[in-house]
Amino acid sequence: MLSIGIGEIQKNSSIFSNLTEAIQIIDKRKKQVLAMVYPVQTQSIVPSLAGKYKNKVKSTKLSMEEIKEFSMMKTMEEKYGLSS
């Protein structure tokens, strides 16, 4: 797993375009892990989940773009009371 500081990301954001392994984003001054970034996988991660969560996650045939769009619509409905 790679560790990258915030400044390095600001200088070179193209790090994320060819991501092949997990990256820790750290704050070097406070020595804290701020985030974990994983590469997008085309295969399902459901079988690799541990314990009680394995049976709670529903698999879907939707693409990531469709999931984002659906999530945005739900958020807008909740925030503004809109109905589609």
- Calculate mean pLDDT across residues 20-37: 88
Q: Pairing mode, if any, of strands 2-5 and 32-37? A: unpaired
Number of domains in the chain: 1
Average pLDDT of the chain? 81
**Distance (Å, whole) CA 25 – CA 33:** 6
Per the domain annotation, does 45 fall within a domain? no
Per the domain annotation, does 76 fall within a domain? yes
* Residues ≥6 apart with Cβ < 8 Å to 1: 21, 22, 23, 24
Per the domain annotation, does 16 fall within a domain? yes
Instruction: Give residue 39's pLDDT band: very low, low, confident or very high (50, 70, 90).
Output: confident
For CA atoms 70, 9, 15, 57, the dihedral sign is negative
Which domain range does residue 64 map to? Answer: 2-40+58-80
Q: What is the pLDDT of residue 3?
A: 86
**Distance (Å, whole) CA 37 – CA 54:** 21
- Calculate mean pLDDT across residues 38-42: 74
Per the domain annotation, does 64 fall within a domain? yes
- Calculate mean pLDDT across residues 41-56: 66
Per the domain annotation, does 49 fall within a domain? no
